[in-house]
Structure 1
Amino acid sequence: MLDFTWKVFSQTGDIDTYLLFKELEKERQETPVSLEDELTEVDFPIS
């Protein structure tokens, strides 16, 4: 999805598409990196 939004932005120059790209990029950095991290979060949720 990140690659697609960047491609659309680079072809159109649409600022809304760029802002969506940056939002997706930020969310990607905040999510667990590995499946093991995700499973740990499911087993031991942070309350």
Structure 2
Amino acid sequence: MRDFSWKIFTLTGDVDAFLLYREMDELSEREKKPTPESLDSLDNWEEMAD
């Protein structure tokens, strides 16, 4: 979706396509960062494996 919205923006200059691209980019960056909740689930995973 991110690549599609960038392609539309470069072809048309549509501001909404750029805003969608930027929003998708920010969401993908947030998903890459570990959160305390995701780290807690990793701790629980180790307990379940034992």
TM-score class, shorter: 0.5 to 0.7
TM-score with structure 1 setting the length: 0.65
Rg bigger for which structure? 2
Structure 1: unaligned runs, 5 residues or longer? none
Query: Would you identify which runs of 4 or more consecutive aligned residues in structure 1 move more than 2 Å?
Result: none
Equivalences, count: 38
Distance 2:24 2:9 in 1: 13
More helix by share: 2
Q: List runs of 5+ in structure 2 lacking aligned partners.
A: 43-50
**Sequence identity percentage:** 37
